[in-house]
Amino acid sequence: MSLHPLTRRLMAPDITAMKRVKPIVALTSYHTHTAAIADKYCDFLLVGDSLGMVMHGFETTVPVTLEMMIVQGRAVVRGAKRALVAIDMPFGTYEESPSVAFRNAARVMKETDCGAVKLEGGRRMGETTRYLVERGIPVMGHIGLTPQSINVLGGFKSQGRTRDEWAAIEEDARVLAEAGAFAIVLEAVSPPLAKRITDEIAVPTIGIGASANCDGQILVMEDMLGLSPRVPKFVKKFGAVAAAIEDAIRDYAADVLDRSFPAVEHTYGMKEEAPEAPPATSPVTKKPKKLST
Ligand code: KIV
């Protein structure tokens, strides 16, 4: 019996091989049904720690736990059949040392069956990236605006908008690429800097707020669907899902209130003909049975 599935899921090297071949399409995803839809169009799905803000209403990604990532990661892997699924390592689970990072990343991979993890940070993550890759864990890098460092950065601030910031961010990209990262997210990086990095490094850059100069693009799915109440400047809304949800819920409430829902077609009819009900006014002939105590 063949153990090969009909459609092979994309793997980290497949994403790397797309550089200069085709634009890489990616979205974040946190649950099964939307993962199944996005799977048809995306090369990879990222279970981003943005789920803390999008699904749980946290102000930042800092409170997100490994357990939250694993639960949602499993849901996305169940929904996606073809796209690579990468999972964010949340704040506090990988920065301490390469061996701590390996233990937690291996747990994520074993418990979710995902194909890669993503770590935030440039040069400081070089050694850890190499350590994980050498031990079988594909790593996606994430530089520029790194939301887990918000308390140090002082806010969600765009990066590389003055030339004196460029060298450090370019060095971040170079170190991660040399350490074996299979792709690097550039978040909120100025377009000319995104172009320099994209031209220079051998692995794909995935832009979010970093211009079309990158090798691929990613957005938070709820932002581009028009579900998130507040979105950054770089988001284009491709849908109006919040309005569609509100219309549906308003109609549902109205139908419940005027009893037009549920209609007959939404009920389970009797399998046999129901005995004729006694007229409402007929006297009760049988005494009700006593309930045994
Ligand atoms: O957590 C996330 O959604 C991300 C993307 C913004 C790249 O890291």
- The secondary structure of 191-258, three-state, reads HHHHHHHHHHCCCCEEEECCCCCCCEEEECHHHHCCCCCCCCCCCCCCCCHHHHHHHHHHHHHHHHHC
Q: Is residue 163's pLDDT more than 80?
A: yes
Q: Token pair for residue 255?
A: 């139908």
Q: For residue 65, how far is its CA from the centre of ligand 1 (angstroms)? A: 15
Residue 273 has what pLDDT? Answer: 77
Residue 249 has what pLDDT? Answer: 98
What span, in angstroms and rounded, lies between the C-alpha atoms of 185 and 203? 11
In order of their start, the domains of the chain are 12-245 (3.20.20.60)
**Region 79-94 average pLDDT:** 98
Q: Is residue 88's pLDDT more than 70?
A: yes
Lowest mean pLDDT, pick from 7-11, 41-45, 171-175: 7-11
- Active-site amino acid positions: 187
Q: For residue 154, how far is its CA from the centre of ligand 1 (angstroms)? A: 18
The response to whether residue 220 sits with its C-beta less than 6 Å from ligand 1 reads yes
The response to whether residue 28 sits with its C-beta less than 6 Å from ligand 1 reads yes
Output phi, psi for 168, to 5 deg.
Answer: -65, -40
Neighbours of 68 (CB within 10 A): 18
Output phi, psi for 241, to 5 deg.
Answer: -70, -35
Instruction: Ligand 1, residue 120: give the atom nearest the CA.
Output: 8
Q: Is residue 103's pLDDT more than 60?
A: yes
Q: What is the DSSP letter of 135?
A: T
What span, in angstroms and rounded, lies between the C-alpha atoms of 212 and 235? 13
Q: Which residue has the tokens 């938070």?
A: 220
Residue 290 has what pLDDT? Answer: 57
The response to whether residue 88 sits with its C-beta less than 6 Å from ligand 1 reads yes
Residue 280 has what pLDDT? Answer: 64
Which residues on neighbouring strands pair with residue 85, listed in sequence order?
A: 45
The residue nearest atom 4 of ligand 1, judged by CA position, is: 48
Asked if residue 245 lies in contact with residue 223, where contact means CB atoms within 8 angstroms, the answer is: no
Asked if residue 7 lies in contact with residue 13, where contact means CB atoms within 8 angstroms, the answer is: no
What span, in angstroms and rounded, lies between the C-alpha atoms of 141 and 117? 9
Asked if residue 77 lies in contact with residue 92, where contact means CB atoms within 8 angstroms, the answer is: no
Residue 186 has what pLDDT? Answer: 98
Q: Which residue has the tokens 């497949």?
A: 14
Q: What is the DSSP letter of 61?
A: S
Which residues on neighbouring strands pair with residue 142, listed in sequence order?
A: 121, 185
Give pLDDT tens digits for 106-156. 999 999 999 999 999 999 999 999 999 999 999 999 999 999 999 999 989
Q: For residue 48, how far is its CA from the centre of ligand 1 (angstroms)? A: 5
The response to whether residue 217 sits with its C-beta less than 6 Å from ligand 1 reads no
Q: Is residue 192's pLDDT more than 90?
A: yes
Q: Token pair for residue 105?
A: 């990343």
The residue nearest atom 5 of ligand 1, judged by CA position, is: 48
Rg (CA), the chain: 25
Q: Is residue 38's pLDDT more than 70?
A: yes
